[in-house]
Amino acid sequence: MQKIKLTSCLLVLVLFAGSFFLGRFAAQVAPAISSAIHSDAEGNWGLSFQEEGKPPVADASCDELKKYGAYYMENTQEKVMYLTFDCGYENGNTPAILDALKKHKVKAAFFVVGNYLSTSPDLVKRMVEEGHIVGNHSYHHPDMSGMGKEEFAKELGELETLYEQTVGSPMAKYYRPPQGKYSNNSLQIAKDMGYQTIFWSLAYVDWNQDSQPTHEEAFDKLLKRAHPGAVVLLHNTSKTNGEILDELLTKWEEMGYTFKSLEELPTA
């Protein structure tokens, strides 16, 4: 009987010691995991939509980005939105998008690449004529997060030159990182070049040409994720976006939202 009691005591001691050391190990590993997540987040802009009608949890805060002249939303309770479109190429949807914006008197920002400027100069000119911002999405759309200053400046500079040759006026100093990839260094270089880096706080999977969302799927995402101060990212290549934008703007307006240009984004 005593032998059984002794064995039980030893077993309890072993389990206690194991739990103690496992706890210490977890406490030491947790900060390392947290650090790794932060490091990964720095390279790829991402959002976590957690509560309907509220801003998402982003990879960086407004304050962290602001020191680099970068923004992903306006920190406000006012029901205002900023519409932006990424333009990699033209496949027939942009005219309908521009028509809807004109109908609702909304000024948006179109982030273009070299290919778009070269192949669709008339549409770019229309954007400018109708009061929209045409921003810099780089010339070749590479991952610019690890570039040095010279290479980075070349990507933006080549697009600036082509834009001025095409439109006849300097390009607005708004930059959107290709593929959403960034680093503190790339944000600083963009700032040094006089650019404001514009991320986003409202988006959905609209870029896959082989799997376009239905109108219902698009409305479900874009209405539930709407929030005060949102910078909206849509792709001009989305057939769904071209088809629903007029109705989408109406629905957002019915929810009480108004729309501003990036020029009105508070930067102080």
Structure tokens at 180: 């959403």
Strand, helix or coil at 241?
Answer: helix
| C-alpha–C-alpha distance, residues 67 and 125, integer Å | 33
Residue 164 CB: number of other CB atoms within 10 A?
Answer: 12
Strand, helix or coil at 244?
Answer: helix
Q: Is 140 noted as a catalytic residue in this protein?
A: no
| C-alpha–C-alpha distance, residues 178 and 181, integer Å | 6
| C-alpha–C-alpha distance, residues 15 and 5, integer Å | 15
DSSP state of 202: B
Q: Which of the following is catalytic: 86, 137, 206, 227?
A: 86
Residue type, 203: A
| C-alpha–C-alpha distance, residues 129 and 102, integer Å | 11
Q: Which of the following is catalytic: 132, 137, 227, 235?
A: 235
DSSP state of 55: P
Strand, helix or coil at 23?
Answer: helix
End-to-end alpha-carbon separation of the chain, Å? 78
- Report, as residue numbers or ranges, the catalytic residues: 86, 235
